[in-house]
Amino acid sequence: MMTSDQWANFWWNSITGPHTVILKTVDALLDKNTVVLTVPEDLPWRHSMRQISESEFKQHANSTNTLIQFLDDDEECSRDREPGRYLLENIVRDPTVRNGYRESAGVTIQDYLVQNRALQNCVVWVKGLDGNRASKWIEFCSKYTVHSVEDGLFVLEVKDNVFVPNRKQLKSIKFSDYVGGYDLQLFNSFVLDDPDGRFPYGDNWKKYIANVAALLCGMDAEVSERLIGTTDFKHEEPLERVRCVADMPEFERRGSNVASTHILACSRQGNVAELKKRLWTAQVQVLFPLIEIERMGVIQQLRDEIDVALKELSSGGCPMKQYEKEVETPEDLDLGGLHYMLHQRKADRMYMLYLPDESLRKRIDFLRCCRNTLAHANCCTVAEVQELLDGHQN
């Protein structure tokens, strides 16, 4: 069984969207740019993202001497401290350079750092940036011009969409531009195909679970992997298991923003309506097509009988109608119409459509019930999902 750390590496190295974010960041650094990297507040496996970015940069820069210095602005910098001053006092190693800057000399602090190679072979990765602090760092870096990678570079990891001025040496990279719902669905599919076989689900189940976890978790692959690994989707309500994940110590800070729509924030705040909406969306995307496939299969199986019944009703002056329009061919008959014909008697007390196979009649009734549930924006229960997926026939 793969560990969480292994899945973290898989997410950032093997899934196209997340890996593209890393490659774009590295390419921008190699082009001597300051990178303004906009990421979700609840970015999955952020430490792995930074480590893999560091490894990729060193590999492509052909340099083992480059140091990536991670700086947490939220914890290490006072809110009123200017970035340049902080760098001089806390990052620059040479004491002569550290203490030698004078504003009266008419040289900007950015030029002073470059001229004295104060950040030589150093990439300063500033994390925890939002709002005004992000703007201060962006303003500082917009005036920091280097001639080579060795002069020192910056990555500004920001939580919010902040304004990035159009400067040659600034490169804006947004996580949301490269990572979408398909990336998480694909990742979930790999999780469910764990080579150790810990998930004994068939293909339809795997498709359903991958979709449910993706729509519930948004872009948080870390929470999605944990939800999949701790939920028996055949017998447990996924929204109940979400509450269990929300109580896990390692996710205590995830979704902590009161305004967050993160899955764990919704669970803690009791926003069940939002979570049910996401679950319903996933069910519509996966279950509705399966219901339609079964309807078509039933119609094909009973086509001759349905065709005869429709013609008899039409010739008798009481044609079968759906939505105030006559049903002329079996293929046009929906589950509601099929259910009606199976249960409605004609004047001679015979059913409009007689089907001796009781199990098939019950299956048709069940499919209609599930379709109506979804059509009215309600979620199917775990028991209904299990009956639908386990009993599905193409």
Per-residue pLDDT at 282: 98
In the chain, where does the domain assigned CATH 3.40.50 lie?
Answer: 4-177
Average pLDDT, the chain: 92
**DSSP 8-state code for residue 94:** -
* Tokens found for residue 125: 């990765």
pLDDT in tens, 109-146: 999 999 999 998 899 999 989 888 899 999 999 999 99
CA distance 51 to 68: 9
Q: Look up residue 111 and give its amino acid.
A: D
* Class of the CATH domain delimited by 4-177: alpha beta
Per-residue pLDDT at 176: 95
**DSSP 8-state code for residue 43:** -
Q: Which residues on adjacent β-strands are paired with residue 375?
A: none
Per-residue pLDDT at 77: 66
CA distance 158 to 26: 17
Pair 54, 12: CB distance under 8 Å: no
* Tokens found for residue 355: 């089907």
- SS3 per-residue string spanning the chain: CCCHHHHHHHHHHHCHHHHHHHHHHHHHHHCCCEEEEECCCCCCCHHHHHHHHHHHHHHHHCCCCCEEEEEEHHHHCCCCCCHHHHHHHHCCCCHHHHCCCCHHHCCCHHHHHHHCCCCCCEEEEEEEECHHHHHHHHHHHCCCCCCCHHHCEEEEEECCCCCCCCCCCEEEEEHHHHCCHHHHHHHHHHHHCCCCCCCCCCHHHHHHHHHHHHHHHCCCHHHHHHHHHHCCCCCCCHHHHHHHHHCCHHHCCCCCCCCCCCHHHHHHCCCHHHHHHHHHHHHHHHHHHHHHHHHHHHHHHCHHHHHHHHHHHHHCCCCCEECCEECCCHHHCCHHHHHHHHHCECCCCCECCCCCCHHHHHHHHHHHHHHHHHHCCCCCCHHHHHHHHHCCCC
Per-residue pLDDT at 23: 98
Question: Does 81 score more than 80 pLDDT?
Answer: no
Q: Which residues on adjacent β-strands are paired with residue 152?
A: none
pTM: 0.91
Question: Does 66 score more than 90 pLDDT?
Answer: no
pLDDT in tens, 15-34: 999 999 999 999 999 999 99
Per-residue pLDDT at 365: 96
Percent of the chain with pLDDT over 90: 70
Q: How confident is the model at residue 78 (pLDDT cuts 50, 70, 90)?
A: low
Pair 93, 69: CB distance under 8 Å: no
Q: Give the position of tokens 């692959």.
A: 221
Closest of 126, 1, 113 to residue 74, by C-alpha: 126
CB atoms within 10 A of CB 272: 12
Phi-psi region at 372: left, alpha or beta (left = phi > 0; alpha = psi -120 to 50): alpha
Question: Does 79 score more than 70 pLDDT?
Answer: no
Average pLDDT over residues 211-217: 98
If DSSP codes are grouped into helix, strand and coil, which group holds residue 377?
coil
Q: Give the position of tokens 């339809």.
A: 204
Per-residue pLDDT at 167: 86
Cα 382 to chain centroid distance, Å, stands at 23
Closest of 248, 271, 247, 251 to residue 259, by C-alpha: 271
Number of helices and strands (H, E) in the chain? 19, 7
pLDDT in tens, 224-268: 999 999 999 999 999 999 999 999 999 999 999 888 999 999 999
Per-residue pLDDT at 283: 98
